[in-house]
Structure formats: structure tokens, C-alpha cells
Amino acid sequence: MLIKKIGSEKAVVIVPEIYGINQYIKDWVDFFIRHGYDTYCVDQNGRDGCYSYAQNEVAYHHFVNDVGFDQYKEVDGYIMELRDDYKKIVVFGSSVGATIAWRLTESQWCDGMIGYYGSRIRDYLEVEPVCPCLLIFPEQEKSFEVQSIIPKLEQKNKVESHVLHGKHGFADPYGKDFNELSGNKALDVVKYFLRKIEHL
């Protein structure tokens, strides 16, 4: 667990991608600190350091076999423990972390959820969020057609979804599919969403 606190009344719990707490995720920690959040970053790797992007298959194998999407139950318990210390708790996830974060949106402990390219959310469309959710997808995903799930997500009262130009990973400046324009657009949407959450 990577924890950075500034004595705030609001917190964010960050659920990383399969690579663990790499520089991309550390940048998100810094982003939320700058926006006034204490940050709690889940370490789902269980190993020293993080996987490199070149270790994609090894990292995915580890996630599927040793972590899994049911990790949301563990994270939910952790958020419950934090609840008394904060007025607002937001959960943020990227890729597999976004799907885990999505599964947390039925929890009474979350005040908001932000997910970047959670492609496996398509397997959990029965989830009915009780808190505001911001879902950001790329136009292109290898494993499925993004537009096929948008109408189903838009039927849910508390879900706001955006599809931006690029591929899975478009917001990661360290990855091969980085798209600066879409990354910046997504950040603007996130900032606006956080302001809305803070006034609820």
C-alpha cells in the first residue's frame, strides 16, 4: 500500500493496473494530492517493485491467477475502515483496476468512482451504482466493441461515460499508445467530475 496524506477530509483509493504501482500510477497519486486528496494506493502485486510493460503477459497471468476481480471485496473492507476518517471517499481505477473500482460502486462506503478503460466492466453490467461514476473508454479495444456497452451504461442513473479517441492506455505517457490530446481531455473531465462530487 502506498499512502500519501496531507491531512484532508477527502480521500481517494487507487486501484492500479496489472503492472502495479508504476510511474503512471504514482502520477495519479500526485494528481490527487494536488487536488486535495489523501491517497491510498492498493498494492495488488504482492511483490517488490512493479512489472514492466514488456512483462505484460506475466503481469496478466499473475493478476488472473493470484488477484482476480473479486479483490473488490478486500478493497471494500479497506474503504469501510477509512470511512470514519473522511467526509468523501472516491475510488479510482485504471484498466483491471477500473473494473474492480466499478464493482465497488454498489458499496455504501464510496462517494464516487472514476475508471479509465475498464474493458472487463462488460462482464459486470448488472452492477447498479449507488454513487456517481465516471467511466472513460478508448474508441479502440482489442477484446470488444466499446460502443456495444455504452447504451447499457447510460441507462444507469449515476453513470457518466465518455469515449475518447485512441487505444487502451491512451492516458499513460509512458506507454506505447499514449494520446496526449485524449489524455488531456480525460483529465479535464476528471477535474469537472471531482468538483461535482465535492458539492454533493
What is the tens place of the pLDDT at every residue in 26-45?
A: 999 999 999 999 999 988 76
Distance CA 42, CA 69 (A): 13
- Residue 83: the pLDDT is 93
The CATH class of the 2-198 domain is alpha beta
- Residue 73: the pLDDT is 86
What is the tens place of the pLDDT at every residue in 104-117?
A: 999 889 999 999 99
Low-confidence ranges of the chain (pLDDT < 50): none
Q: Tell whether pTM > 0.75.
A: yes
- The three three-digit cell numbers of residue 112, written as one number: 464516487
Domain range list for the chain:
2-198
The answer to whether 168 and 138 have CB atoms below 8 angstroms apart is yes
